Chains A and B, each alone.
Chain A
Amino acid sequence: KAGVTQTPRYLIKTRGQQVTLSCSPISGHRSVSWYQQTPGQGLQFLFEYFSETQRNKGNFPGRFSGRQFSNSRSEMNVSTLELGDSALYLCASSLLAGGSYEQYFGPGTRLTVT
């Protein structure tokens, strides 16, 4: 079974631009969560989508948004990029929502904002 895939793997943007990252979950998984990883901060939860609905959102500004399609694929968008948005963005899928299902992570998209 194919794992979680994320595209692109690397991205360089300039301040003020916007960016869209894509995530394809494991086949059959319906929950997709997004995390931001920065040095010293570990992984911080951005949001979770299940059946095309955002179920939960972390403590990030409104510049960070996402959506999920009917095939469970998900995208996240960051508008008006800031230098501090440089990070590894990880997507994770799980079979169902609920907190007790192990999440399977993709390799991440490394975003650099200059």
Chain B
Amino acid sequence: DQQVKQNSPSLSVQEGRISILNCDYTNSMFDYFLWYKKYPAEGPTFLISISSIKDKNEDGRFTVFLNKSAKHLSLHIVPSQPGDSAVYFCAASAPTGANNLFFGTGTRLTVIP
């Protein structure tokens, strides 16, 4: 059972515009959420995270929004750049004292120059 879902397998955006990647989760115990970016032939790279006590976290061009009541988070990239083209994974963890992350299936972002 997929506890973290990314319902859009792909997204194409023009360079300079905003990219919005969405993620839904079902487990209300999740208290920490992360976004990872993955290029081909490389492992996922940590991008940005947010704790459940916050509803927004910014880091440069990247902002993550968390809506706990809707069990939804989104990643905004503004402005989008061609180098942002990659697969983006949403992940969540619960306060179990363990490091297992629950990942979504990923969204492939293509930024068109």
B74 at interface by CB-CB < 8 Å: no
Most buried by B among A42, A55, A101, A108: A42
Which residue of chain B has its CB nearest to the CB of A105?
Answer: B43
List chain A positions with a Cβ less than 8 A from chain B: 4, 31, 33, 35, 40-45, 48, 50, 55-56, 58, 90, 92, 94, 97-108
Given A42-B89, A108-B43; A103-B106 close (CB under 8 Å): no
Given A42-B105, A45-B102, A100-B32; A4-B43 close (CB under 8 Å): yes
How far is the CB of B79 from the nearest CB of chain A, in Å?
25
Determine the distance from Cα of A90 to Cα of B31 in the docked complex, in whole angstroms.
Answer: 23
- Pairs across A and B, CB under 8 Å, 7 listed: A42-B4, A43-B101, A43-B103, A45-B100, A90-B43, A92-B99, A105-B36
List chain B positions with a Cβ less than 8 A from chain A: 2, 4, 6, 31-32, 34, 36, 41-46, 49, 51, 89, 91, 93-106
Other A-B contacts than A40-B105, A44-B103, A105-B43, 9 sampled, CB-CB below 8 A, are A42-B2, A42-B4, A43-B44, A56-B99, A92-B99, A97-B98, A99-B100, A103-B101, A107-B42
Given A42-B89, A42-B104, A99-B93; A94-B99 close (CB under 8 Å): yes
Which residue of chain A has its CB nearest to the CB of B47?
Answer: A102
**Chain A residues, CB < 8 A from B100:** 33, 45, 48, 56, 58, 99
How far is the CB of A15 from the nearest CB of chain B, in Å?
26
How far is the CB of A61 from the nearest CB of chain B, in Å?
17
Which residue of chain A has its CB nearest to the CB of B104?
Answer: A42
Q: Is the CB of B98 within 8 A of A48?
A: yes
